Amino acid sequence: MQAWENWLAVLESHGFAARAMTKPGASEQDIAAFSAKTGIQGELLDLYRISDGQLEPWRSELPGATDLFPCARFVPIADALELWQDWQEPRVPFTLDAGGESLAVALSGEVVDMETGAVHAATLVGYLAQLATSPLEISDDDGVLTWDVR
């Protein structure tokens, strides 16, 4: 998925170890089970084929460790399934922030905020493209870089 690669390249251009934070792709068996249970199809499954979430930055000694989404961690497929089972919504979470909020992909393909229902993009690829072209606000807290979109 080129939009994912472009987004990771943007993070890396700012000094973040984005690709090093990604986990290997989920198995086809896990993806099929996830899709069967949630009803989700398409781009989110494609993303999980590339990367089954990310390492937890706060547990990493890796220089440039970071969340891969704005103030939120890209959760592994097993965690996404658990979150979906807890909420039983017609949208599937794929990020999780420190406060327990998530972004999700609706069955229609839209990227939505699980808390507010606000639509961020019509598709996951569109959302990744938005991120890649958004200005980032970079902060340095005693040598630890963090970012958010402006």
pLDDT tens sequence across 62-104: 778 889 999 899 999 999 999 999 887 889 999 998 888 999 9
Quote the pLDDT of residue 146: 81
- The domain segmentation of the chain, as residue ranges, is 2-149
| Residue 104, helix vs strand vs coil | strand
Amino acid symbol at 24? P
- Residues 98-126: pLDDT tens digits? 888 999 999 999 999 998 999 999 999 99
- Residue 58 pLDDT exceeds 80: no
In CATH, the number for domain 2-149 is 3.40.1580.10
Q: Are 87 and 106 in contact (CB under 8 A)?
A: no
Confidence label for 59 from pLDDT (cuts 50, 70 and 90): low
Q: Is 0.75 surpassed by the pTM of this model? A: yes
Distance CA 119, CA 111 (A): 6
The angle at the Cα of 70, spanning 125 to 30, to the nearest 5 degrees, equals: 55
Distance CA 17, CA 19 (A): 6
Q: Are 104 and 112 in contact (CB under 8 A)?
A: yes
Nearest to 147 by CA among 53, 55, 16, 17: 16
- Residues 15-32: pLDDT tens digits? 899 999 999 999 999 999
